[in-house]
Amino acid sequence: MEIFYPNPNQKIIQADVIEGLSTVENASINLAIIDYPYFEIKVDYGNQATSVNGDFTQFLEWAYAVANMVVSKLTPTGSLYVFAGQVLNPYIQIYLSQRLCLKNVIVWHRGSSSAQTLKKYTNVWEPLLFFTKHPRQNTFNRDAVSVAGKVRKRGKIMNTRGGKLYNTTKVQPDVFELSPVKGSSKEFAKYHPLGQKPEKLIRLILDASSNPADTVLDVFGGTCAVAKVAQQLRLKSVTVEQNPAYVAASVERLKK
């Protein structure tokens, strides 16, 4: 295990995820993001039955162990966002719903796809789970993630609870319409060709669920997009990533 500090507020732990998380202090993280590696289901559409790539039971036990450790790192008012893909997602949702408060099942709609599928529908979305440690006491900066809302033009629309006019804005819906990172994008990392999350998506999460001086934990850091956005927002971040090449490239990226 090695630890790197590209700058004073960003810490990268190069280690296996369990080992790396064991060095993070309990109840020290305000916002955590888990971006699990994809677990693929391989299908043979001939006479063969559907087969799973690897042992899913072992994968699931490992995923639960990671989730448990991350939950222990959250402050009493902390939040957790989980990317788990369409295969793992329902298991993680049920598992963590017994330990945290599930706020949203978000759909990240990636837009149209050039993929040519023959025996199933083309996939253009990913699930994103939003949990909080406490059912009410958690950071959610609604103004930072508000969008224009539709207001009826006929007469004044009053909020019956407070006797005030309804706002002309509303909180971002739970479908995020954001393009994926493409090879032509400036933020595309050639050393990490699959599963890279766009910084705009990470920015939305951090704007909503963190405050100045908070500490953000990124599990399975990859290109360290979370640390990069945290750096831009002047937040502290802790990243766990075991691939030395990813870490080396990210350290240089965060020095800029």
Same domain, 50 and 164: no
Choose among 120, 121, 75, 123: nearest CA to 100. 75
Choose among 38, 23, 67, 30: nearest CA to 240. 23
Same domain, 91 and 192: yes
Same domain, 38 and 78: yes
This prediction's pTM: 0.88
How far apart CA 70 and CA 22 sit, in angstroms, is 10
Q: Look at the block and give the residue holding tokens 């253009």.
A: 124
Confidence band (pLDDT; 50, 70, 90) for 43? very low
Same domain, 152 and 194: no
Choose among 88, 82, 90: nearest CA to 39. 88
Confidence band (pLDDT; 50, 70, 90) for 44? very low
Residue 248 has pLDDT above 60, yes or no: yes
Same domain, 41 and 88: yes
Same domain, 80 and 199: yes
pLDDT tens digit sequence for 137-190: 999 999 999 887 765 554 555 555 555 556 678 899 999 999 888 776 777 776
Q: Look at the block and give the residue holding tokens 């979305």.
A: 125
> Could you tell me which residue, 89 or 151, shows the higher pLDDT?
89
**Per-residue pLDDT at 169:** 80
Same domain, 67 and 160: no
Same domain, 158 and 108: no
126 C-beta neighbours (distance < 10 Å), count: 21
DSSP 126-163: EEEEEEESSSS-S---GGGGEEE----SSS--EETTTT
Distances in whole angstroms, Cα of residue 100 to Cα of each of 56, 93, 158, 236: 24, 10, 35, 23
pLDDT tens digit sequence for 196-239: 899 999 999 999 999 999 999 999 999 899 999 999 999 999 99
Same domain, 184 and 165: no
Final residue in a domain of this structure, among 171, 191, 225: 171
Please report how many Cα atoms fall inside a 13 Å half-sphere around the Cα of residue 112, on the Cβ side. Answer: 1
224: which DSSP letter? T
Same domain, 74 and 114: yes
Number of independent structural domains in the chain = 2
Here the CATH number for the domain that contains residue 69 is 3.40.50.150
**Per-residue pLDDT at 162:** 59
Burial class of residue 51 (count of CB atoms within 10 Å of its CB; 0-12, 13-18, 19+): exposed
Final residue in a domain of this structure, among 119, 149, 171: 171
Same domain, 130 and 148: no
- The helix/strand count (H/E) of the chain reads as 6, 15
Final residue in a domain of this structure, among 171, 193, 227: 171
**Per-residue pLDDT at 157:** 55
How far apart CA 72 and CA 239 sit, in angstroms, is 16
**Per-residue pLDDT at 118:** 84
Share of the chain above pLDDT 90, in %: 63
Same domain, 49 and 160: no
Distances in whole angstroms, Cα of residue 242 to Cα of each of 2, 12, 65, 70, 160: 9, 10, 17, 16, 54
Structural domain of 241: 2-139+174-255
